[in-house]
Amino acid sequence: MEEQLRKSDTLSVVGQLAAGIAHEIRNPMTALKGFIQLLQGSIGNDCEQHNMYFHVIMSELKRIESIITEFLVLAKPQAVHYERGDVAKIMQETVDLLSVQATMHNIQIEATYEPVPPIYCDSKQLKQVFINILKNAIEVMPKGGTITVSVAHVAEGVRISVRDEGSGIPKDKIKKLGEPFYTTKERGTGLGLMVSYKIIEEHQGRIDVESEVGVGTTFYITLPIDNDMR
């Protein structure tokens, strides 16, 4: 018991430290990005080789940025802000946000939104979860297809589902979802689901996954209507 307490104390100190460092990295990163764009502007577009270098630099910078952003969500409990929110509306905004990216990949998102009771939630954080899960769905369908989204009122609360027609996840890998740095992608961070699981846990909700290899995957998020967040 005591041992566990000490362990979690250490964790939170490490977490705070890491969050501090992440913040410190972010500012120079922004400057770097800006100046590299300026540099590109002044050198011009003529040299294919240079363009390729710039492309690589920018995409690597963006990668660092997304790792830091996901990391900060993890280590930054002070910024949570709970108020009554409409989960269907939050999902709708997320789908709108990602619709261009989906279309570019030949994917259509079919969504049905039932009216659901408001729940106490941090809408920014929930949006982050929905973005992570929808992005994963898009990334797993390189040949295009349909993503089916629904928000419904069920006995347990509000149930969100996101179904894709991607590769599916082998049974023995499902338990690895949400583990830090677990990724099967060449350019993955393996942080998106960990952050998502943590956020949903903090909302006293649950994430369930159903998957069949070669057929697709469905993520279910269940959020209780009466939580302790008020």
Q: In the complex, which residues of this chain contact ligand ADP (CB under 6 A)?
A: 132, 136-137, 140, 164, 166-167, 169, 177, 182-185, 188-194, 217
Judged by beta carbon distances under 5 to 8 A according to partner kind, the member of ligand ADP, Mg ion, none in contact with residue 183 is ligand ADP
CB of 135 to Mg ion, least distance (A): 6
The interface region with Mg ion, picked from 56-64, 83-91, 158-166, 190-198 by CB under 5 A, is: 190-198
Q: Which of 144, 160, 150 is nearest to 108 (CA)?
A: 144
Closer by beta carbon to ligand ADP, 90 or else 133: 133
- Centre a 10 Å sphere on the Cβ of residue 202 and count the other Cβ atoms it contains: 16
CB of 132 to Mg ion, least distance (A): 5
Dig out the tokens for 31 from the structure: 């400057």
Judged by beta carbon distances under 5 to 8 A according to partner kind, the member of ligand ADP, Mg ion, none in contact with residue 190 is ligand ADP
- Please give the residues from 85 up to 144 whose contact with Mg ion meets the rule CB under 5 A: 136
Residue nearest to Mg ion (CB): 192
Dig out the tokens for 214 from the structure: 């070669």
Task: Give DSSP secondary structure letters for 157-218.
Answer: EEEEEEE--S----HHHHTTTTSTT---STT--S-HHHHHHHHHHHTT-EEEEEEETTTEEE
CB of 166 to ligand ADP, least distance (A): 5
Rounded Cα gap, residues 161 and 51, in angstroms: 41
E strand residue ranges, the chain: 83-85, 107-113, 119-121, 145-154, 157-163, 206-212, 216-223
Judged by beta carbon distances under 5 to 8 A according to partner kind, the member of Mg ion, ligand ADP, none in contact with residue 94 is none
Judged by beta carbon distances under 5 to 8 A according to partner kind, the member of Mg ion, ligand ADP, none in contact with residue 157 is none
Residues that bind Mg ion (CB under 5 A): 136, 192
